């Protein structure tokens, strides 16, 4: 029996980092996914191993189930009914199991994701043999929520074949979980984001779970319905970074300049709320659409300025901003910054010639450039043979 879950990546339209400190943020899913396939071998095929295959990286890890049991048994991990944080001591034990696998230096950042995999697996399925395969259309560590999509697709696939969730395995199509199941998938994945990010706000896992466009503040989710078409270009600077370090850097800046940072976060909160008002306003004639796009562009620029105040921009991001500005287009970093991806609003009346030109110029700088469909479904699953 086999089940595959897919979970989308995301863009943050406004409010990254500030959302960790209580400000409002707006995010939308994108049509690029991480896929996790979970296969429980028939009982005759009990080889006593848990196998994790990371297809894109060409890496395959395996652990004797007994070794995993030894590492986590003291922490009473088998808790299929509810999300449970991985205790610090257990993270250490699992980290040494991961170290034994000798991950290539270039891929060392995936260790935290694998620790979550081992924790989640034993919590939901105890000590059974299985094979789990992961593949992704999202660049890792680039601001498009690869960590959240990984945690959500993993939680979705493992929970879909657990006692906590009962979906009809006969349907051979992408299926949605019901609301309470989505909540469970989301809560488990948040535990993974805690291991990977250190101090996540929960926005990335939440938008990957529920999809579409959301407003998020202090753990509270509001689903948004945009009344205007939003076309975004995403530029990947290909400069690697990790969210945990960037989030920690902002916290350090708060310690040094608490009052100034409070004002920065409050400005971001106002920007996100204004952005929500604009995208939900129902005036739809062409003039007001252009006006709304101009306001959005200004808010995007203001948010980027505040992200610079937080210290999370990067020379490569500045290059993208300057390049798009030559074409009168507004951009901001998306996700944790420090490199990674930049978002550019493409107004409805912008000619395709301009889009082609700006993309060509960005590509000539060595960046990857694409437009993504935004606001599609969240996590879904599909049962195989
Ligand atoms: N397909 C995958 N396979 C294994 N681990 C993954 C995968 N995708 C993400 N991860 C885990 O997530 C980490 C990257 O997460 P990180 O939060 O730094 O970046 P991001 O989620 O892409 O960007 P942002 O948080 O800014 O949206 C990887 O180092 C790894 O631990
Ligand atoms: C930087 C951050 O705000 C968004 C990363 O996509 C971190 C978080 O909210 O967990
Ligand atoms: Mg992340």
47 is catalytic: no
Catalytic residue among 204, 220, 259, 356: 204
What local confidence, expressed as pLDDT, does residue 80 receive?
Answer: 66
- Interval between CA 77 and ligand 3 midpoint (Å): 24
What local confidence, expressed as pLDDT, does residue 44 receive?
Answer: 57
What local confidence, expressed as pLDDT, does residue 171 receive?
Answer: 67
- The residues placing their C-beta within 5 Å of ligand 3, an ion, are 147, 243
| Burial readout 167-182 (b: 16 or more C-beta within 10 A, e: otherwise) | bebeeeeebebeeebb
What local confidence, expressed as pLDDT, does residue 238 receive?
Answer: 98
Ligand 1, residues at Cβ distance < 6 Å: 34, 54, 109-110, 112-113, 134, 136, 140-148, 150, 196-197, 204, 242-243, 335-336
Class at the top of the CATH hierarchy for domain 226-371: alpha beta
| Burial readout 75-91 (b: 16 or more C-beta within 10 A, e: otherwise) | bebeeeeebbebeeebb
**Which one has a higher pLDDT value, 76 or 262?**
262
Is the CATH code 3.30.70.20 the one for domain 2-222+375-383? no
Please give the number of the atom of ligand 2 that sits closest to the Cα of 204: 6
Least confident of 115-129, 137-151, 162-176, 257-271: 162-176
What local confidence, expressed as pLDDT, does residue 179 receive?
Answer: 95
Please give the number of the atom of ligand 2 that sits closest to the Cα of 250: 1
Q: Assign 77 a pLDDT band (cuts: 50, 70, 90).
A: low
Q: Assign 227 a pLDDT band (cuts: 50, 70, 90).
A: confident
**Which one has a higher pLDDT value, 74 or 212?**
212
User: Which residue intervals of 281-376 are DSSP H helices?
Assistant: 286-309, 315-326, 352-364
Q: Is the ipTM of this complex over 0.95?
A: yes
DSSP state of 107: G
Which runs of E-coded beta strand occur in the chain? 2-14, 25-39, 49-54, 59-64, 130-136, 213-217, 220-224, 232-236, 331-334, 341-345, 368-371, 380-383
**Residue 237 clears pLDDT 70, i.e. is over it:** yes
The torsion defined by the Cα of 137, 109, 181 and 272, in degrees rounded to 10, comes to: -80
The count of C-alpha atoms lying within 13 angstroms of the C-alpha of 104, restricted to the half-sphere facing its C-beta, is 7
pLDDT in tens, 273-312: 999 999 999 877 777 899 999 999 999 999 999 999 999 9
**Residue 172 clears pLDDT 80, i.e. is over it:** no
Please give the number of the atom of ligand 2 that sits closest to the Cα of 17: 3
**Residue 180 clears pLDDT 80, i.e. is over it:** yes
Least confident of 200-209, 236-245, 275-284: 275-284
- Interval between CA 29 and ligand 3 midpoint (Å): 14
- Interval between CA 334 and ligand 2 midpoint (Å): 9
What local confidence, expressed as pLDDT, does residue 346 receive?
Answer: 97
The torsion defined by the Cα of 119, 122, 124 and 125, in degrees rounded to 10, comes to: 150
- Enumerate the domain spans of the chain: 2-222+375-383, 226-371
User: 277, 18, 255, 243: which is closest to 143 by C-alpha?
Assistant: 243
What local confidence, expressed as pLDDT, does residue 74 receive?
Answer: 83
**What are the C-alpha distances in Å from 273 to residues 122, 216, 276, 361?**
41, 10, 5, 33
What local confidence, expressed as pLDDT, does residue 128 receive?
Answer: 92
- Interval between CA 336 and ligand 1 midpoint (Å): 11
Least confident of 126-130, 135-139, 320-324, 377-381: 126-130
Tokens of 210: 């529920």
- Interval between CA 384 and ligand 2 midpoint (Å): 34
What local confidence, expressed as pLDDT, does residue 209 receive?
Answer: 98
**What are the C-alpha distances in Å from 170 to residues 60, 125, 188, 383, 384?**
30, 22, 25, 7, 9
| Integer Cα distance of 332 and 317 in angstroms | 8
- Assess contact for 115 and 172: CB atoms under 8 A: no
- Taking CA atoms only, the protein residue closest to ligand 1 atom 19 is 141
Q: Assign 385 a pLDDT band (cuts: 50, 70, 90).
A: low
DSSP state of 161: T
- Assess contact for 4 and 37: CB atoms under 8 A: yes
Count of residues in the chain? 385
User: 336, 315, 341, 111: which is closest to 246 by C-alpha?
Assistant: 336
Tokens of 71: 């590492």
Which residue among 13, 111, 140, 314 has the greatest number of ligand 1 atoms within 8 angstroms of its CB, and so is best to mutate? 140
| Integer Cα distance of 5 and 156 in angstroms | 6
Ligand 2, residues at Cβ distance < 6 Å: 12, 16-17, 19-20, 145, 197, 200-201, 203-204, 243, 247, 335-336
- Assess contact for 216 and 204: CB atoms under 8 A: no
What local confidence, expressed as pLDDT, does residue 384 receive?
Answer: 83
């Amino acid at each position: 029996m086999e089940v595959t879950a897919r979970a989308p990546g995301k863009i943050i339209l406004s409010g990254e980092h500030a959302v960790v400190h209580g400000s409002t943020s707006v995010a939308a899913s994108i049509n690029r996914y991480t896929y996790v396939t979970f296969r429980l071998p028939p009982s005759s095929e009990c080889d006593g191993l848990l196998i994790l295959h990371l297809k894109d990286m060409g890496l395959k890890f395996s652990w004797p189930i007994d070794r995993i049991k030894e590492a986590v048994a003291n922490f009473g991990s088998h808790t299929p009914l509810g999300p449970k944080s991985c205790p610090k001591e257990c993270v250490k034990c699992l980290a040494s199991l991961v170290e034994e696998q000798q991950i290539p230096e270039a891929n060392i950042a995936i260790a935290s994701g694998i620790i979550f995999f081992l924790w989640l697996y034993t919590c939901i399925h105890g000590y059974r043999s299985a094979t789990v395969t992961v593949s992704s259309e999202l660049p890792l560590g680039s601001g498009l929520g690869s960590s959240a999509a990984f945690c959500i697709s993993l939680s979705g696939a493992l929970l879909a074949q657990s006692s906590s969730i009962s979906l009809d395995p006969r349907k051979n199509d992408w299926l949605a979980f019901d609301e309470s199941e989505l909540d469970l998938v989301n809560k488990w994945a948040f535990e993974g984001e805690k291991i990977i990010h250190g101090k996540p706000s929960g926005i990335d896992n939440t938008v990957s779970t529920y999809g579409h466009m959301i407003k998020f503040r202090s753990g509270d989710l509001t689903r948004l319905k945009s009344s205007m078409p939003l076309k975004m270009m995403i530029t990947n600077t290909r400069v690697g970074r990790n969210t945990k370090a960037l989030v920690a850097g902002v916290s350090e800046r708060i310690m040094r300049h608490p009052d100034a940072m409070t004002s920065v976060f409050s400005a971001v909160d106002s920007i996100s709320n204004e952005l929500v008002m604009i995208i939900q306003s129902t005036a739809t004639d062409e003039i007001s659409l252009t006006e709304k796009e101009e306001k959005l562009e200004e808010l995007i620029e203001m948010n980027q300025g505040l992200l610079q105040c937080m210290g999370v921009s990067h020379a490569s991001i500045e290059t993208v901003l300057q390049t798009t500005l030559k074409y009168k287009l507004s951009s901001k970093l998306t996700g944790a910054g420090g490199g990674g991806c930049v978002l550019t609003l493409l107004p409805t009346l912008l000619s395709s010639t301009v889009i082609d030109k700006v993309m060509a110029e960005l590509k000539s700088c060595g960046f990857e450039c694409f437009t993504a469909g935004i606001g599609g479904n969240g996590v879904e699953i599909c049962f195989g043979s």
